Amino acid sequence: MTLTRRAFLTTLGAGLGGLAARGRGRPAPAAGRGPPPVRTIHLEARAVRWELAPGRTVRAFAYNGQVPGPELRVREGERLRVVFTNALDEPTTIHWHGVDVPNAMDGVPGVTQPPVPPGGRFVYEFVARPAGTRWYHTHVAEHRQLDLGLAAPLIIEPAAPEPVAWDREVTLVLDDWVTGHGRPVPPTADGTAGGRGEAGGMMRGRGMGAMMGPMLGGHGPAYDTMTINGKAYPATEPLRLRRGERVRLRFVNASNEHTHVVRLAGHRLLVTHTDGNPLEAPVEVDALPIAPSERYDVLVTADRPGAWFLFCTQPAHADAGERMLVLYEGAAGARPPDPEPGVAGLLPWHYGLGRGRDVVPSATGRVRAFDLTLGGGMPGSDRWTINRKAYPDTDPLVVERGDRVRVRFVNMSPEAHPMHLHGQSFRVLAVNGVRYVAPVVKDSVDVEPHMGAVTVEFTAHNPGRWFLHCHRPTHMEGGMITLVEVRG
Ligand code: C2O
Ligand code: CU
């Protein structure tokens, strides 16, 4: 795409009948000459008792006493100063997932900063960019700290108005919990988000993963509760709709283990952003697979009055709490149809459906290519590898600032890996041998098991030492991490 951003906005705005004009995206404050304005926020991590649902209270870790933590909203280009206090009795850090922070603000203990000790304090400061649905979370012992709730949305509102219009927006953070109450749900380690270009992964997930997973897997914790914004149904807060309005939903999958496949019964979902980055045009789907750490923005048009459920179609997830009432005005008391598991006959989203807007900075250096084979998952082993090595023994990807870096992941293991790169976003060039003409831009990409392959490309524009890792904490702890070293 060679259209400039301005030209594009004008074009698409016209194409959509001038919707841009009525969009909620507010224009940036007058371009000042001085330093960008600073917004100071105080965050504290602390252990709390948290009620997921009546009768289901757990010990959780919270930012500012909330699970998920408070949603931070800033304007693109604004300087964010976060004064962070650790009131846990263990060390922690904050990672700004999907934000191009300076390396020292990236929150990776032992790589970009020492962990913040109990009672300690750390000031994170960075310019908020790029725009989009980002999130923040702990980067210490995630298998416990992230699992206990240390995650929250960070919404960076674009400086320029967006070419889509909506009346209202709601952020929905999805999470999985081990409470010891209720029946464990089947694992979703087959992944679903990458897509073999069809619902293949999902079908296998439903069959083999669902039935044999609990027998075969056995080593992971038993997740039994699924939440939306820290609550399990019936404690989830209903979404109230007025007929004719358009609502923007921002989904964040903060789960450690589970991929969710979201539906809103009676409605289609218009996907507009992948991991916060805009598509050229919205894509209409029936169901939205979201791997751990991924985000999607969708628009919903309220044109089917009544009562409905927004829910996850993964086996047992809706029953484990992952559903919320969607109530039109005047529909109080109406009974929504029960959630239907599965996506048979539906059109689910996959990466190849979207045409990404090219928001990645252009490369000025050489093309560098790396092949990373993802391995592990041998019975009885917790070892997860990149090119047969476990972090810290993995080989770093050393590149120069400005290089165009192509990374090809091939997953030789039996579980999906949502691979996440810190500090810069990438284009998803190809999945399972299918090349995309207008790649979507993301910072996490699900690589399917059993020889699933994904090629991504990024411009190494952010100097420093960046983590590239699987976002399933058990895999990460097992070694599936490498460093991307951007020199210069
Ligand atoms: Cu969202 Cu290294 O993490
Ligand atoms: Cu993994």
Of residues 31 and 351, more confidence is placed in 351
* 383 alpha carbon – ligand 2 mean position (Å): 11
Measured from the CB, is residue 263 less than 6 Å from ligand 1? no
Kindly tell me if the per-residue pLDDT of 28 is higher than 90: no
For 71-85, how does the pLDDT look when each residue is reduced to its tens digit (9 = 90+)?
Answer: 999 999 999 999 999
Task: Report yes or no: 106 and 149 within 8 Å, Cβ to Cβ.
Answer: no
Q: Residue 480's CB: how many other CB atoms inside 10 A?
A: 27
Structural domain includes residue 167: no
Structural domain includes residue 214: no
Structural domain includes residue 170: no
- Do 437 and 328 lie in a common domain? no
- Do 97 and 136 lie in a common domain? yes
Band the pLDDT of 89: cuts 50, 70, 90: very high
List b or e across 389-418, with b for residues whose CB sees 16 or more CB atoms inside 10 angstroms: ebbeebeebebbebbbbbbbbebebbbbbb
Distance CA 283, CA 293 (A): 21
Indicate the pairing of strand 269-274 with strand 121-127.
Answer: unpaired
Structural domain harbouring 229: 175-185+223-353
Backbone φ and ψ for 135, nearest 5 degrees, come out as -155, 170
- Do 254 and 293 lie in a common domain? yes
- Do 345 and 452 lie in a common domain? no
Apex CA 290: angle with CA 287 and CA 296, to 5°? 85
Distance CA 386, CA 468 (A): 10
pTM of this structure: 0.90
Structural domain includes residue 190: no
- Give the number of whichever ligand sits closest to the CA of residue 479: 2
Kindly tell me if the per-residue pLDDT of 467 is higher than 90: yes
- Give the number of whichever ligand sits closest to the CA of residue 385: 2
* 27 alpha carbon – ligand 1 mean position (Å): 30
- Do 179 and 121 lie in a common domain? no
For 105-141, how does the pLDDT look when each residue is reduced to its tens digit (9 = 90+)?
Answer: 999 999 999 999 999 999 999 999 999 999 999 999 9
Q: Which of 325, 353, 381 is where one domain is finished?
A: 353
Measured from the CB, is residue 137 less than 6 Å from ligand 1? yes
Distance CA 81, CA 404 (A): 31
- Do 276 and 421 lie in a common domain? no
CATH number reported for the structural domain that contains residue 38 in this entry: 2.60.40.420
Closest to 480 (Cα-Cα) out of 135, 16, 63, 142: 142
- Do 434 and 475 lie in a common domain? yes
The residue nearest atom 3 of ligand 1, judged by CA position, is 97
Q: Which of 353, 384, 401 is where one domain is finished?
A: 353
Measured from the CB, is residue 422 less than 6 Å from ligand 1? yes
Task: Report yes or no: 295 and 252 within 8 Å, Cβ to Cβ.
Answer: yes
Q: Which of 331, 353, 375 is where one domain is finished?
A: 353
Structural domain includes residue 204: no
pLDDT recorded at residue 46: 98
- Do 9 and 149 lie in a common domain? yes
Distance CA 458, CA 461 (A): 8
Measured from the CB, is residue 93 less than 6 Å from ligand 1? no
Measured from the CB, is residue 97 less than 6 Å from ligand 1? yes
pLDDT recorded at residue 33: 59
Least confident of 11-15, 37-41, 162-166, 414-418: 11-15
How many structural domains compose the chain? 3
Of residues 33 and 278, more confidence is placed in 278
pLDDT recorded at residue 190: 81
**Percent of the chain residues past pLDDT 70, beyond the cut:** 87
- Do 348 and 251 lie in a common domain? yes
Kindly tell me if the per-residue pLDDT of 213 is higher than 60: no
- Do 8 and 102 lie in a common domain? yes
- Do 14 and 110 lie in a common domain? yes
- Do 30 and 155 lie in a common domain? yes
The residue nearest atom 1 of ligand 1, judged by CA position, is 97
pLDDT recorded at residue 172: 98
Structural domain includes residue 192: no
**Widest distance between CA atoms in the chain:** 62
pLDDT recorded at residue 229: 98
Cis link prior to 392 (omega < 30° from 0)? Answer: yes
Indicate the pairing of strand 239-241 with strand 323-328.
Answer: parallel
For 280-329, how does the pLDDT look when each residue is reduced to its tens digit (9 = 90+)?
Answer: 999 999 999 999 999 999 999 999 999 999 999 999 999 999 999 999 99
